[in-house]
Chains A and B, each alone.
Chain A
Amino acid sequence: MAKYAVRRALAAIPVVFGVTLVTFLLIHFTQGSFVPGLDFNPSLRPEDVARIRANLGLDRPWYVQYLDWTGIAFFFKNAGLAGILGGKVNTGLLEGDFGRSMIDGSPVLAHIGERLPNTLELTITAILLGVVISIPLGVTGALRRGSKLDHFFTALSVAGFAVPAFWLGLVLILLFSVSFHAWGLPWLPSSGVATPLTGGDLVDRVVHLLMPATVLSFVYLSIWSRYTRSSMLEVLSQDYVRTARAKGMAERRVTYLHALRNAVIPLATLIGLELPGLVGGGLVVEVVFGWPGIGRLAFERALQYDVTTVMGITTFAALLVIAGNLLADVLYAVLDPRIRYS
């Protein structure tokens, strides 16, 4: 088991390398916009532009910049090999430095740290909601296959898969915030994590969380309930379920103890695959509900052409994804002893 985990971890290293390279090269395509408008600013003499670029280290060849950004250069410098790279060398990803904002020079990691808890609050709630609701839906659908209820759940999940999340958010705001307010009913706040100044207690936070988490969980719900249903159907036709029934075990016990436990195994992988969604998946929902999360941070910075911040966030998110996939694979092997990757 441990050996398998280590092997998987080692296999992830080239992917990490590739992710940083792709992100970097993508930005490198557009040297000029590294500093918005720098090359086109009429009040700057060419030598000024050159000086600013040199100051920012943009005059170096791309691979040196890449090594600098990833922190490999810094690593080399500490090992006494700085001579081959030349110029100034900063800490980088390897040292936990995700770069600095192009706009105010603030460290990107600090922004991430500030916004990440909000994002996690939203996405984890949504995923929990999704799991807690989708499993019973899927199981009911499987047990009463072909019933009206089953058809209804199926229709619901098909609809859930087709509805644009941002639109659902807008419609909910229109209904529960705008219309309820107009009708004099208790209404839900349409944006933020808590009421500014006065709010911030648990109830206030939950009330703010209600709509965005519901919208976000809707997509998970429609996928997972389908998977639970088909996986449950498959398991229910297995020999060991028949054996359990044959020896006179109560149907409830068969369903929930024997069948369900095995039916949710594929779901574990699916949920593992949603770990990337933990950071990025809620972006649109965060924007609609003014949720100060990491996705909205990337979005706002993108609109200001703060390329380095977006780059830092992207890399951070990609690293989380790789870690998440690794975790899901290992978890899967733990949950399902039949699976051993060679």
Chain B
Amino acid sequence: MLDTGTVSEAAAARLELEAGPSRPAQSYWSESWERLRANRIGVFCGALMLVLAAVAVMAPIFSQYVTHFTPSKQDLDNIFLPPARQHWLGSDELGRDTLTRLIWGARVSLGVAFLTVAIALTVGAAVGLVAGYYGRWVDEALMRTVDVVLSIPAVFLFILMSILFRPTAITLSLIIASVGWGVLARLVRGEVLSVRSRDFMLATRSIGAGDLRLIGRHLLPNVLPIMVVAASLTVGQVILIEAALDFLGLGILPPTPSWGNMLTNAQSYFVHSGWLVIFPGLTIFVTVLAANLFGNAVRDAFDPRLR
């Protein structure tokens, strides 16, 4: 979102210019990094994401030493237990421990989210760089392809693909990324177009640099900031999409626990066991919130267009 205050920032920049440089020049990355570290909400949310990722990675350790349950351990004598000391967040229709399943579900949700963003970013950046750099018919062909992909409403594509390919964590990532790369390609291409016409590109070319070198060594570093920003803003959305697909039964299927598919079953029992609905949803909400706020902080710190 285009935020506020462009005017005051411009004024501040002018003041700074008039006063002369007040501190030694810094590289773009270290300067942005410092700006990010100064953002307290951003740092907190970033740390929270790291903690969640660590919990996901160490899920087996948690289920052995902290919750003392495995995610699919059934206990039919203790079904629908409300949150208590034994089951911190209650148990479900088969007596499985909700907290343990949430921890294991984090592996799916976060794993798919990061993999999806990685795939979409790689493909999107490659397409955007090539289209923007070569221009002409290459640009035309690639961008029309992007138009096509983005014209098909994503939900229907997801439905179609998940009945055609049995979703595992990897295929699910590919399915979501197959739509997500389009937006990123457009973004990167737009940035490449503005960088391409700068003098240094002409200078580099005139001393004999080839296409690959120009793209890899000179264009890519210049579009990297915008890619970092886009990636961090996308993670939260992907978590939401993945959870929705799991919820609909079009994503990761039981018995593998995921935040989304835990809600599918909970739907049938929430009249008497509301916590089965509340906790997975809250987990998704908090995670996405943290991802989005961290994304905003990254944007504020790194986006060159906000300078």
Interface residues in chain A, defined as those with a beta carbon under 8 Å from any beta carbon in chain B: 14-15, 18-19, 22-23, 26-27, 29-30, 33, 145, 158-159, 161-168, 170-171, 173-174, 178, 226-227, 229-231, 233-234, 237, 276-277, 279-281, 283-284, 287-288, 295, 298-299, 302-303, 305, 307, 310-311, 313-314, 317-318, 321-322, 325
Residue of A nearest to B281 (CB): A167
* B160, A27: Cβ atoms closer than 8 Å: yes
Interface-side segment among B13-21, B31-39, B129-137, B142-150 = B142-150
* A166, B156: Cβ atoms closer than 8 Å: no
In the complex, A209 Cα to B12 Cα: how many Å?
A: 50
Chain B residues 215-267 with CB under 8 Å of chain A are 236, 240, 243-244, 247-250, 263, 266-267
Q: Distance (Å) between the CB of B72 and the closest chain A CB?
A: 23
9 contacts between A and B (CB under 8 A): A33-B163, A158-B289, A162-B285, A167-B263, A174-B270, A284-B244, A302-B159, A307-B160, A322-B151
* B1, A230: Cβ atoms closer than 8 Å: yes
In the complex, A166 Cα to B155 Cα: how many Å?
A: 14
Q: Distance (Å) between the CB of B60 and the closest chain A CB?
A: 27
Interface of chain A: mostly helix, strand, loop or mixed: helix
Q: Distance (Å) between the CB of B93 and the closest chain A CB?
A: 16
* B277, A167: Cβ atoms closer than 8 Å: yes
In the complex, A279 Cα to B30 Cα: how many Å?
A: 45
Indicate if B195 sits at the interface (CB-CB under 8 A).
no
Residues of A within 8 A of B288 (CB): 162-164
Interface residues in chain B, defined as those with a beta carbon under 8 Å from any beta carbon in chain A: 1-7, 144-145, 147-149, 151-157, 159-164, 236, 240, 243-244, 247-250, 263, 266-267, 270-271, 274, 277-278, 280-281, 284-285, 288-289, 291-293
Residue of A nearest to B5 (CB): A233
* B270, A170: Cβ atoms closer than 8 Å: yes
User: Which of these, A162, A276, A299, contacts B153 with CB under 8 Å?
Assistant: A276
User: Which of these, A22, A230, A317, contacts B3 with CB under 8 Å?
Assistant: A230
* A305, B163: Cβ atoms closer than 8 Å: yes
* A167, B152: Cβ atoms closer than 8 Å: no
7 closest A-B pairs by CB: A18-B148, A280-B153, A167-B281, A162-B289, A314-B156, A162-B288, A280-B155
Residues of A within 8 A of B1 (CB): 226-227, 230
User: Which of these, A22, A174, A298, A307, contacts B149 with CB under 8 Å?
Assistant: A22
- Given known A15-B151, A19-B148, A164-B288, contact A26–B161 (CB-CB < 8 A): yes
* B163, A310: Cβ atoms closer than 8 Å: yes
* A163, B248: Cβ atoms closer than 8 Å: no
* B152, A318: Cβ atoms closer than 8 Å: yes
In the complex, A167 Cα to B266 Cα: how many Å?
A: 11
* B289, A164: Cβ atoms closer than 8 Å: no
